[in-house]
């Protein structure tokens, strides 16, 4: 099974799991620096009470802790909704958007002695974007990316202040072949190299499937590819 198919299968299974467990009201958390915090409602859709365990996850590319979540763990009755707060702890003003992830795990309440049962915990991980004060909102930050052929490699440059999220599969034109990004996001200031089974010489455009700030997919976007001077 290819990596892309495996990821697609995992996403499909995660989507099925949302039917039970702790269900966030949105698919992305946005924390505006000027407000200092963000909130999110999480509903317990299980038939019984459970502990909601919330954790902030730092990316390998950006390990700096910038916020806390409260309450980190709390009991939520069946059908009830818990308000979760995300509070900025950044010591310096943000210059660019920053990307973290937040994990929500529902831990079923243990049965009384003699009523042993096997509990299944379901964990969901959502992207969390910290947005700097004074930075204009941009509905299509993927349009700010620069795609370049550098030697025998195809690279994407993010010279903007925005986090860009998109599918890993990239269509190459006019060859109609496929290249793959190493991950589904590119941070401000980053350069990512795509992998391709076929040569990238002659590629003049790429077609990507971007995700909006709030996680919704939009129509495919085609961007030009520039080449290094010979």
Report how far residue 157's alpha carbon sits from residue 179's, in angstroms, rounded to the nearest whole number. 16
- So where are the chain's domains? 24-109+116-131, 141-227
pTM for the structure as a whole: 0.86
Report how far residue 146's alpha carbon sits from residue 179's, in angstroms, rounded to the nearest whole number. 16
Report how far residue 119's alpha carbon sits from residue 107's, in angstroms, rounded to the nearest whole number. 8
Architecture of domain 141-227: Sandwich (2.60)
Mean pLDDT of the chain: 89
Decide the pairing of beta strands 205-208 and 169-173.
antiparallel
Share of the chain above pLDDT 70, in %: 86
Per residue in 113-150, pLDDT tens?
A: 655 555 667 889 999 999 999 999 999 999 999 999 99
- pLDDT-flagged residues of the chain (< 70): 1-19, 111-120, 229-230
CATH 3.60.10.10 fits 24-109+116-131, yes or no: no
Nearest CA-CA partner of 123 in 53, 19, 76: 53
Structure tokens given for 26: 């949105």
The pLDDT of residue 228: 79
The pLDDT of residue 154: 98
Structure tokens given for 83: 């308000």
The pLDDT of residue 9: 37
Q: Three-state SS across 69-110? A: EECCEEEECCCCEEEEEEEECCCCCCCCCEEEEEEEEEEECC
The pLDDT of residue 204: 97
The pLDDT of residue 156: 99
Residue 124 near residue 104, CB atoms below 8 Å: yes
DSSP state of 68: E
The pLDDT of residue 118: 53
Q: Do domains 24-109+116-131 and 141-227 have the same CATH topology?
A: yes
The pLDDT of residue 215: 76
Report how far residue 150's alpha carbon sits from residue 147's, in angstroms, rounded to the nearest whole number. 10
Per residue in 102-116, pLDDT tens?
A: 999 999 877 656 555
The pLDDT of residue 122: 80
Q: Please, which residues bridge with residue 154 across strands?
A: 149
């Amino acid at each position: 099974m290819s990596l892309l198919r495996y990821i697609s299968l995992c996403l499909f299974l995660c989507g099925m799991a949302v039917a039970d467990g702790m269900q966030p009201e949105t698919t992305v958390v946005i924390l505006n620096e000027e407000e200092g915090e963000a909130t999110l409602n999480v509903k317990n859709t299980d038939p019984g009470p459970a502990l909601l365990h919330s954790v902030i996850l730092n990316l390998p590319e950006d390990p700096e802790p910038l916020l806390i979540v409260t309450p980190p763990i709390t009991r939520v009755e069946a059908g009830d909704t818990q308000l979760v707060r995300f509070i900025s702890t950044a010591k310096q003003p943000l210059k660019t958007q920053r990307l973290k992830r937040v994990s929500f795990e529902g831990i079923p309440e243990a049965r009384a002695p003699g009523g042993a049962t096997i509990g299944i915990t379901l964990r969901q991980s959502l992207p969390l974007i910290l947005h700097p004060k004074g930075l204009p909102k941009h509905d299509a930050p993927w349009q700010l990316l620069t795609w370049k052929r550098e030697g025998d490699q195809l690279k994407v440059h993010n010279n903007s202040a925005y986090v860009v999220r998109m599918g890993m599969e990239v269509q190459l034109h006019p060859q109609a072949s496929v290249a793959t990004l190493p991950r589904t996001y590119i941070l401000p200031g980053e350069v990512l190299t795509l992998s391709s089974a076929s040569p990238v010489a002659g590629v003049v455009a790429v077609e990507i499937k971007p995700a909006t700030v709030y996680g919704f997919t939009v129509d495919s976007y085609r961007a030009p590819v520039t080449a290094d001077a010979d």
